[in-house]
């Protein structure tokens, strides 16, 4: 059944696929992005370009002032982004306290404002092991509280919660999506670095499908 959905859309691969899934299912979509001072502002630029092309309403919410709470993340600070695989220690250094609950609370408030039935976000199975707020249990409990917090219930759904990044990519490729319209790299340079945890994970997803990522990467020595 068609409904109105706020899709939390970072500009990366997973939420790009999610956005298109919502459209493919016939839902009315409001895209919502967060400017939290991320170094990879190109992700937000990619999000805006895609929404403009699709003619979708797109809100970018400035939450940079929340850094006092969001402190401790390599994504916004001056410290080095860990390279290589998303090993447990390097992933923990990118953890923001209560990140997803904060973003989902804001998205739910926005959903009330635009009279949406649900908030969708792109948590996936690959993140379960390390991020408590990407686990099915978190999504279920967040859904439960969002249904009673306002006069109109808002559902919280993570359609890819049991998928991995490769399966999400497979779904997008089957829809004919152009992943050259997405941005993943944590480093905000002209080309993707190819070595940060996020790039490595992305490249592995393409490799697992025998595909070449359409994004340009920096040459390596």
Beta strands in 56-163 (DSSP E): 58-62, 118-120, 155-157
Complex with a second copy: residue 23 or 101, whichever CB lies closer = 101
116-145 binders of a second copy (CB under 8 A): 132-133, 135, 137-138, 141-142, 144-145
Q: How many residues bind a second copy (CB under 8 A)?
A: 42
Q: How far is it, in rounded angstroms, from Cα 219 to Cα 217?
A: 6
Which of 148, 210, 212, 220 is in the footprint of a second copy by CB under 8 A?
148
Which range touches a second copy (CB under 8 A), out of 149-157, 172-180, 189-197, 211-219? Answer: 149-157
Structure tokens at 97: 């306290």
57 binds a second copy (CB under 8 A): no
Stretch that binds a second copy, among 20-28, 78-86, 146-154, 176-184 (CB under 8 A): 146-154
Whose tokens are 């941005």? That residue is 183
Instruction: Tell how far CA 10 is from the center of its chain.
Output: 5
Give 218: exposed, middle or buried? Use CB within 10 Å, 0-12, 13-18, 19+. middle
Smallest gap from Cβ 3 to a second copy, in A, equals: 18
Q: C-beta of 192: minimal distance to a second copy in Å?
A: 29
* Residues 164-203 within binding reach of a second copy (CB under 8 A): none
Contacts 24+ apart (CB under 8 A), 171-176: 171/17, 171/21, 172/13, 172/16, 172/17, 172/20, 173/209, 173/211, 175/17, 175/20, 175/21, 175/24
Q: Tell me how far, at minimum, the Cβ of 193 lies from a second copy, in Å.
A: 28
62 touches a second copy (CB under 8 A): yes
Pairing of strands 58-62, 155-157: unpaired
Q: Counting every residue, how long is the chain?
A: 221
* Residue from 100, 184, 187, 198 in contact with a second copy (CB under 8 A): 100
Binding region for a second copy (CB under 8 A) = 59, 61-66, 68-72, 96-102, 104-106, 108-110, 112-113, 132-133, 135, 137-138, 141-142, 144-146, 148-151, 154
């Amino acid at each position: 059944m068609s409904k109105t959905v706020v899709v939390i859309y970072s500009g990366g691969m997973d939420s790009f696929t999610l956005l298109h899934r919502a459209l493919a299912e016939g839902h009315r979509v409001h895209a919502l992005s967060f400017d939290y001072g991320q170094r990879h502002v190109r992700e937000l630029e990619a999000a805006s370009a895609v929404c403009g092309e699709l003619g979708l309403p797109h809100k970018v919410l400035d939450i940079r002032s929340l850094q006092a709470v969001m402190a401790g993340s390599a994504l916004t600070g001056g410290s080095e982004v860990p390279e290589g695989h998303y090993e447990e220690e390097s992933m923990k250094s990118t953890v923001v306290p209560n990140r997803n609950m904060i973003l989902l609370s804001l998205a739910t408030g926005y959903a009330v404002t635009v009279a949406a039935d649900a908030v969708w976000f792109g948590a996936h199975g690959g993140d379960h092991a390390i991020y408590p707020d990407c686990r099915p249990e978190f999504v279920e409990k967040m859904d439960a509280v969002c249904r009673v917090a306002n006069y109109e219930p808002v559902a919280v759904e993570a359609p890819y919660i049991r998928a991995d990044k490769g399966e999400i990519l497979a779904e997008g490729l089957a829809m004919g999506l152009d992943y050259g319209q997405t941005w993943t790299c944590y480093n905000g340079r002209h080309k993707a670095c190819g070595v940060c945890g996020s790039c490595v994970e992305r490249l592995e997803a393409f490799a697992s499908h025998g595909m070449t990522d359409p994004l340009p990467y920096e040459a390596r020595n």
